[in-house]
Structures are given as structure tokens and as C-alpha cells.
Structure 1
Amino acid sequence: MADPQTYSTASRKKSVAQEPVTSVLRGDELPIYTRELTADEEILAALGYKPEFKREFSLWTSFCVSFAVLGLLPSFASTLYYGMGYAGTPGMIWGWLIAMFFIQCVAMSMAELCSSMPTSGGLYYAAAVLAPPSGWGPLAAWITGWSNWLAQVTGAPSVDYAMSAMILAASSITHPEFVPENYQVFLLTTLIMLIHGCISSMPTKWIARFNSVGSTFNIIALFIVIIMIPASTNRKSQGLPKFTPAKEVWGNFYEGTDFPNGLALLMTFVSVIWTMSGYDAPFHLSEECSNANIASPRAIVLTSGIGGLFGWFLQIVVAYTVIDIEEVLDSDLGQPWASYLLQVMPQKTALAILSLTIIAAFSMGQGCMVAASRVTYAYARDDCFPGSWWIKRVNKHTQTPVNAVWFNVVIGILMTLLIFGGSLAAGALFSIAAVAAFVAFTLPIFIRVFFVGSRFRAGPWHLGKASLPIGVCACAFVALMVPILCLPSVTGSDLDAAGMNWTCLVYGGPMLGVLIWWAVDARKWFKGPKVNIEHQMLGREDNVVEGKEDGNDSGDSSSGSITKRDAQHLENDKGGALA
């Protein structure tokens, strides 16, 4: 935690307008420090926050965390049911290719926001700053923040659940008499989440090293699997050609839904969206990254681009070698990836690849836990949660948000109780993450494109003239996909509770509760990002508003006080920060 004496109102060196950021502060005000600041600290100060973390992430280590969260191999294994099950091999190949173009648009637009506002609040902060006048900023931040938190907090549980299913499937392969029970999946998932919680509570440097190793392993394992599958397939010994003819792979749709092939193809996008939802991690780690307003957006774009390319290669390999899609989906193993591996190669080779996938999944779950803890910390810093005073404490020994980590662990374990509701109920962990992430990713992009336009103050990494058309493509794609992700696979008289898509309920229920909370109470006290230095968040007419330290060793701090007449100047002041 920074020394309270560091902050001074005695002099003024720079205004917010001199920093390459878009801030909630007034353009003519900035806290002045009695010590020399680094460039990263000056930018963070212009955004309204004290430096509370060590900047021990770089472009590479930020990329490593986000690539670990992406976890192409375990993500593909976890969502194979959706990519293959709705439209077969054409859905896998065409679906991934089409979806990736638009997902890259979302990633580039997000990276532009990150360069302009490199803070752990990320998209939530951006929505508040860019929202239209007349009080829309707090509401935009409230919706974005809660949607993003739902996506983040379901990340580790969904990955760890899929990992547990793969571990137990491996046990079933070696011991055919063993049939996993739901309580065994739940207990194993809980154990893995507790381990991830312990690792995520370590100092930043250790976490960065762990994720660097994990991401390196993810990359190596991905290459090994992409090479091993076509090299080791035993299709010829089963009387089949080594690869399925291209005409069948690209054009022979599997009737996995009651909807037309075109709509079924769009439904396969859920696997791409869930797999590629980790590229926002560098945004949330930007307060721990050096040269953040350049390194963090680069890490976002690299993660999405490289992940999309190699993910497509993996889709092609599986599409050209799979033999019987129905058998893969309905196998007694309960895990399509394990079923596919046994179908196309010898048992020992299948187990080797499955083991690589499990280890990669462990690294991915860890990356999800780290990213989610930073999001939770940022929102608790602005008092979004009940008990935020405890959640936002930074551990004085590790200088990491340990309390936020364990808050997420408890929530995640409670969410995995869906396992006892069956595979469709547990599948809601994946669907809610996809929809919630897309809503959170795109709301600030939508505001920036359609309400701010050319008044947006870009950071050093930007898209130039391509910014608006890329942003429009991103918004249009999300507007199309959100309702499609909520469609069930069957229609008419065949639709019952067992075949229902529960995404609307699992995501819509909590978000409806959040909106009711806003209307009844939160709108009275929630004003958006709550800066914690001497600030000009709501405007003033006379004296400088001075931030106050509470002297707590944990790193908790309160924002500065605001006079009663400040509120009426909020919107005018915020407009000046954009230009």
C-alpha cells in the first residue's frame, strides 16, 4: 500500500488532459505526489487510483495468463459436445472460422478501450466513463460489472468441472466397471478449486511464474495433440480411409437439433465464444503490468488472434478424423473428448492425450481463478458487493487480493451444486459464462461506438479509422448471438424440462435481481467507479477534494468526500474527460 504522505495537495504538475487515458476525473485536475512517479503510476493516477500492486507482469506474462484462461485444448475438450453436437463437422469448421472473425473484432475494440483505460476495473470502468449524460454512467457500470463478474466467477468452476469429468472418464477407461457418480464429480471439482484458491493467494511474482509455466505447457500440449491425432489415428485398421473426405467434412451436416442447418451452425458458436472468452484477462491485470497501456492491449489481441488460429487447426484435425458423431456424444464415459480419442486411436495413446488435456485444464482453471479475483477486487473497491469492506482488502504479506480469491472460491463451489441437477443443468455453467461475457464485453464498446464516436480519447494503442466499423461489427455479432445462445436444441412437443436451455434462467435470473436491486436501492448510493485518491470524480466549484486514507494495513482505503452540490456537475465534468 502506498504511503499516505505520498499524496499532496500542495502543488499541481499535470492535468488529466496530458495523460493518454480516458478518465472519470476532470480534465483540469490530477493528484500531485511528493515523489517522482513512473509512467504507469502517472497513468493509473489519472484514472483515479493509487498503485496498490507490484507491476510484475509483462506483455509475455500477461499473454500467458490470458492464454491459460483461454486454454484452447481443455476448452475444446470441454465444449466438444456443443461444437460437434449441433451441426457436426461443418459446424466445427465453418462455425469456428466465421465466429472467429467477429470475435477478433470484439477483442480489438476491447484492446482499444484497455489502452485508453488500463485499470483492473476494465470494461466496468469504461462503461461508466463513456456512458451518455443524465446519470447513465452508474447504471451502465452496474450492468457491465455484474455481467462481467458472473462470467468471471463461473469460469473456474466450469473448467474444473470439465477437468473432473475428464479425470473420472480416464478412470473409467482403465477400470470399465467404474461408473462416476455426481457426488464424486462434485467432490473432485471442490478439491481442485481449493487448490486453485491456494495458488491464486500467492504473491504476484509467483503467480506470474506459475502461469508462465502453465501457458507454455498449454502451447506445447496443443502442438503435440494437433500432430499426434493425425499421426496416431487407427482409422485404417478399422477399414476406413485415414481421413474423412473433405466433401463430407465441410458439407455433411449432423442433425443435432430441430432447427435448420443455418441456425444450427450459429448455435455451434457457443463453443467458440466460451473457448475464446479469456482474452479480457490482460485488461484486468493491467494494474499489475508494466507499460500497461501498450502491453495489455497487445496481449488481448495476441491471445485472440493466436488462440483463434490454432483453435481452428484443432477443429480441422478432429473433424477429419472423427468416425461416429452420435457414439461420441452418447458414450457411457460421459465425456465426448475421451470418447472421441478412444474412437480414433489406441487406448494408451488416447490416455496420453487425455492426460495432457487434464494438465492443461488445471493451468486454465488457475488462470480463470486469478483473472476473476482481480475483477472481484476491482468491483469490491467500488463497494458493489455486500461485505465489500472485507473483499477489497489487499493482503499485506502477498500484496494480492487474497480475500477476493476466497470469496470467489466459495461462490464457485456453491455453483457446482448444479452438477446434482444433471448434465444439462451443469452445462448452464458454460452457457452463462458465454452470454455474460459477451454482454459485458460489448456494452462499453456499444456505448463508445454509438454515443461517444469521435470524441473518444484513444490511448497509444488504437485502431485509427477502422475503430468505428470494427466496433459496429462487434456489436452486431453480439446482438445476433445472445438470443441464439438461449435456444434449446429441440422444439415443439419434443421440448421438455430435460431438453430445455436454462441459460435464460441461470443468467437472466441473477441479472433481473441485480436490476431490481438497482431500482430499489443501489441507484441511491452507487455512483460508478469509486476513485481512491484526491479526485474530482463528481466535480466541484471551490476547493480541491482531498482523498483520505483509513490507515488500514490491509490496503483498504476510502474515497474522498464530496460536497452536496457536486452531483449537479457530474455530467458536465465527465464530458470534458472524453474530448
Structure 2
Amino acid sequence: MSARNLSVTSAGARRKSVADEPVTSVLPGGDVPYDPNHEYNADEEVLAALGYKSEFKREFSLFTTFCVSFAVLGLLPSFASTLFYGMGYAGTAGMTWGWLVAMIGIQAVAMSMAELCSSMPTSGGLYYAAAVLAPPGWGPLAAWVTGWSNWLGQVTAAPSVNWGIASMILAAASITNPDYVPTDYQVFLLTTFIMILHGIMSSLPTRWLAQINSGGSTFNFIALIVVIILIPAGTDRESRGLPKFTKSSEVWGDIYAGTEFPAGISVLMSFIGVIWTMSGYDSPFHLAEECSNANLASPRAIVLTSATGGIFGWFLQLVVAYTVVDIDTVLDSDLGQPFAAYLMQCMPQKITLAILSITIIAGFAMGQGCMIAASRVTFAYARDDCFPMSNLWKQVNPVTRTPVNAVWFNCVIGILLLFLIFAGDVAIGALFSIGAIAAFVAFTTPIFIRVFFVGNRFRPGPWHLGKFSMPIGMVASAFVALMVPILCLPSVKGADLTPDLMNWTCLVYGAPMLGAMVWWFVSARKWFKGPKVNVEHMMLGREGNVVEGKNDSGSEDGPTAAELADSKKAADAL
């Protein structure tokens, strides 16, 4: 290590420069994290090299981070909530080999994301990566698009999950009392109540959240195994004059005509269930600032979540595909919840209620994990003044050391979105498509930039893909480019397309994103410069001066990641 890459603080300690850290930093290679009153540990050094000071307690480990991520993934409740799309668009063929095809693209996205996380383990995650990796001058816009799309995906996650759970609770009541038919306002009130419970729980200290989510994730995993075993073991199809399992030729070969598009398009449309179910693996990225050994533990948790979810999710798809009796009846049942209707077709009532109860508890844990992950994203973006009243949402509660204000901001937005319930099942169902598209756009924007624009400027962290990085990134980018327009297609077309059958994803996702882009061109481009650096650094090569959170104009805001990245790119070009 050269003398230029070392510095001696007032306490006489020698500190590593940014160039010595395994990160893709926006800071010049000679910068040294500096605090005369505090000795950085390894995680704090990595975060400081990215331009941020540590504000959370690092009480998440690889296991507890995986637990939150797996809870957010919530395979069992996610599958139950999206069965209408997975089974309804392409039938059992889409659920079996369709799941495997979709997982190729999804795993490519997860692995590419994990590589970015190892190199840039910060709560801003994908948003930070987009700003840092974008070509000179494009960092703020890349961060703006990625950030708003990611936030839309995050803020719709908890209400969509909780709507599914509320529907299952009321469907269970209908099974017990056939005369009871749930109304829209009852679904709305129950979902709102669950949202408020999750808001309270998500405001707890980090240590408690880690323990709660460890328990929730453990239950999710056990519940998944139990249901995978219980369905084939407990099915009573034979007592109804049917073979115990449907023939494989029918399960794998028959594509249900759930849309008016060709069979291949119908299978692709059914991927919404896979994509939405598998979208929780980004949570470790957003929890990186609360995780110890983050640039190894967080990417490992991402890949572990995606791989585990993909394998066990496929097993769940198989047992349902082999036991479903009549898809039309499942989709059109008066119960209002396809998973409950499916169970009633092939299981005794007591087992049906037991499986629904297990799924509801697992879904409650999933909604809790979604609320936590969304609050960290909101905090990270408010820290960079992306929202109106950002000063309020970026505050860390001094007692719990968690972003409580961001939790309740998201909770209120989520409750407002639930008014879509009164517009019908198709309208509220758009939350699932929004979550899938918004998440994929956010996931892949920095991956696309990394593959096609960065070249050798990317510095891998300790977890990386090596020579497979570029090919895997290309597969991820191509998969998302294919799926975004597919997820906007309605199930019918031509004269059959009416407002109540329209796929409202284009409007519910497109309108906020259009608003964000209008805001960008009218105003935000003048003041939004991307992620802000908020940690002091010693600038070697600048006569040892220390930057103290002031930009060139003398304001209290520090330099932004995009500004530093552009200056660094220009220096590298020279």
C-alpha cells in the first residue's frame, strides 16, 4: 500500500482509503473516512467508503437477514394470493414447466443484484447503484427512475399481501358458514386493521424486529413444508370418484385457455404469479446497513432466498397442479379466494381450514416483512430528499433507532391504495402487476447499466460472479425487457375488452411514474443530484483538508453520489 493511500488521524491511527475497500465507490481513490472520535469497524469502513455514516445498529446476521427476506418472499401466502394468475392464465402447464422457465430469468436477476449488493451494501441499494454506475451526467435521472419504481413496488407490497390475507380469513368464515358472503367494505376494514398492526410492529427496535422476523420466517418455512406434504397426503379426490392425482400428460401438456391470446403468450402472462411471489429477494440489499459483514452476508442472503424460494415454490406448484379438479370452478367460486376454492375441491373441510389457517399466519409474517423492507427504502430515499417533507420521513427514532416516520408514511399510502377494493377484483389485482413491474424495472435498471455502459469501472465486492457476470446480466436484462409489456396485457381483447376486464397496471403504475417524470423535467432535475454523501472524508491530495458535509456552494448538503461519480469518471477518463 502506497503512502498516498494511508492517512494518520489526530489520534495517530492509520486508515485505509476508499481505493483499498472492496466497493464501487463514488469517492476519489485517495479519500479516507475520517472521525477523530471514533475508530471504524469493518462494516463502518465499507459504508463510509460509499459515502454514508452508520445510523443503525447492525443486529441482523446472514440468518436473520435471510429470515426477513424469506418472510417477504412468503412462498405459501404469495402463491395463495396469486393463484388466480398462475393457474388462471395458463393452467397447470404454466404452473409446472412455466415456473422453471420463469426461474431462469428470475435467478439471473437475483444473482446480478447480489453482485451489486456486495459492491455497494447500502440501504439505497439499487437506487444508489444506478446513480453510481450511470454514464456521466445521467446518474441523477437513473437514480430517480430506479428509486421511484422501487418505491412503488415496495409500498404496494404490504397492502397487496394483506388484502390477500384478509380475503382468506373471510373465505374461511364463508366455508364455516355458507350463508356468509364477504362484502367489499369488510375486506377493506380487515385489511386496514392488519396494515395498522404491521405499522405498530415495524416501529419496534431492530433487535426485536430481527427476532420477530426470525420466528415468522421459521414458521413460513415449516408451514410451506407441511402444506407440500399435507396436500398430496390428505386429498380426498378418490372419494369423489377421481384418481388421486391427475395424469402427468394432462398436468404438463394442457394449457388452459385463460386468455384470448395464443398459448405461448398465456404462459408468459402466467409468470406474474412467479415474479410477484419471488420478488422479496431484494430485501437483504435494503437491510445492508443493519447487517453485520454486509458485503458478504447480504448478497448471500439474496441468492439463498431466490434459490430456496425457486425450488420449494416449484414443489408447491406441482402438488397443486396434480390435485386441482376444475380450474373454472376455482376461478369463479363465490368464496372470492381461488386458493380456498381449490382446497374445497380436493380436501376435507377440516384440512382445508387447517391449511388456510397456516397460510394466513404465514401471510401475516410476510406482510410484516414487506412493511419493514419498504420503510428502509423510504428512509434511504428521504435521506436524499426524494419525497415532499423528506426531513420528516428520514428521521431515525432516537428510542428504537428505526425509521418510524417512514413506516407510518408507507402505512398511510398503503391504506389509501386499498380503496381500489371498491373498484372490483381486477382493479385491486393491479397491485400485484404493479409490484411485479415496478420491482423488475428497479431491479434491472442498474444491472442493465452495469452490463452495457460501465465496462471496467465496476469494482466487484467479495461476492461476485467472475467471468459469468456479463452473460448473467444480459439474461436478466433480456428477461425483464420481455416481461414488462407482457405483464400489462389484459386477459381479453377486441370487443370483449371492457373497463371491468381491463388490465389497469398501465394506469396504476404508469400514472405515478409519469408524474415522477414530469416532476423531474419541471423541477427535480434542477435540485436532485442523486444519493447524498453524508460522512466526512479526508481528501488526500488536497493538502489534508476535510470535507465537512458542505458542497461547493457552501450549503449544508454534502456532495451527491452522482456528482462525485461524474467527477471520478472524468478523472478516470483522463
Shorter-chain TM-score: what band? over 0.9
**Residue in 2 aligned with 1:63?**
66
Of 126, 129, 135, 1:126 maps to 129
Equivalent residue letter for 2:417: M
User: CA offset at residue 33 of structure 1?
Assistant: 2.1
Q: Which residue of 2 aligns with 1:4?
A: none
Q: TM-score, normalised by structure 2?
A: 0.94
Structure 1 position 541, deviation (Å):
10
Cα 1:376–1:574 change in 2 (3 A) is: farther
Question: Secondary structure at 1:13's aligned position in 2?
Answer: strand
Q: Which residue of 2 aligns with 1:203?
A: 205
Query: How far is the alpha carbon of 1:441 from its aligned partner?
Result: 0.1
Letter paired with 1:51: S
1:280 CA displacement: 0.2
- Structural mapping, 1:396-407, within 5 Å: 396-407=398-409
- The share of aligned pairs that are identical, in percent, is 73
The structure-2 alpha-carbon separation of the partners of 1:355 and 1:528, relative to structure 1 and needing over 3 Å to count, comes to same
Correspondences of 1:293-312 after superposition (within 5 Å): 293-312=295-314
Give the drift of 1:31: 2.5
Q: Does 1:46 align with 2:41?
A: no
Match of 1:553 in 2: none
Map of 1:52-451 to 2, 5 A cutoff? 52-133=55-136, 135-451=137-453
- Answering whether residue 572 of structure 2 is matched by residue 572 of structure 1, we say no
Q: TM-score, normalised by structure 1?
A: 0.94
Residue correspondence of structure 1 range 406-555 to structure 2 within 5 A: 406-535=408-537, 543-547=545-549
Pick closer, same or farther for the CA change 1:52–1:74 going to 2, 3 Å: same
- The question of whether the paired residues in 2 share the 8 Å contact of 1:266 and 1:484 is answered with yes
Give the superposition deviation at 1:26.
1.7
Which amino acid counterpart does residue 105 of structure 1 have in structure 2? A
In 2, the alpha carbon distance for the partners of 1:431 and 1:8 equals 55
CA contact (8 A) 2:44 2:54 kept: yes
| Residues 519 and 158 of structure 1, relative CA distance in 2, 3 Å threshold | same
What is the alpha-carbon distance in structure 2 between the residues aligned to residue 180 and residue 258 of structure 1? Answer: 30
Residue deviations 1:51-86, cap 9 Å, x none?
A: 110000000000000000000000000000000001
2:17 is matched with 15
SS at match of 1:154: helix
Amino acid at match of 2:99: W
Question: Shift of residue 390 of structure 1?
Answer: 0.5
Structure 1 residue 11 displacement after superposition? 8.7
SS in 2 for 1:450: helix
Q: Amino acid of the residue matched to residue 571 of structure 1?
A: D
- SS of 1:33's equivalent? coil
Which SS does the other structure have where 2:491 is aligned?
Answer: coil
Separation (CA, whole Å) in 1 of partners of 2:42 and 2:556: 24
Amino acid aligned to 1:560 = G
Q: CA deviation at 1:570?
A: 5.9
Distance (Å, rounded) in 2 between the aligned partners of 1:518 and 1:541: 38
| 1:275-326 superposed Cα distances (whole Å, 9 cap, x missing partner) | 0000000000000000000000000000000000000000000000000000
Gaps of 5+ in 2: 1-8
Is residue 26–residue 564 contact of structure 2 (8 Å, CA) maintained in 1? Answer: no
RMSD (CA atoms): 2.2
User: Cα–Cα, structure 1 residues 481 and 561, in superposed 2: closer, same or farther, change >3 Å?
Assistant: closer
Deviation at 1:533, TM superposition (A): 1.4
Deviation at 1:542, TM superposition (A): 9.7
1:471–1:340 CA distance, 2 compared to 1 (3 A): same
Structure 1 contact 547–560 (Cα < 8 Å) conserved:
yes
Ranges in structure 1 where 5+ consecutive residues have no aligned partner: 1-6, 549-556
Task: Assess if the C-alpha contact under 8 Å between 1:532 and 1:558 holds in 2.
Answer: no
1:350-402 C-alpha deviation (Å, 9 max, x unpaired):
00000000000000000000000000000000000000000000000000000
Contact 1:111 1:298 survives alignment (8 Å): yes
Q: CA deviation at 1:455?
A: 2.7
- Post-superposition offset of 1:184: 0.5
SS at match of 2:23: coil
Tell me by how many angstroms 1:14 deviates: 2.4
- Distance in 1 between the 2:76 and 2:401 partners? 32
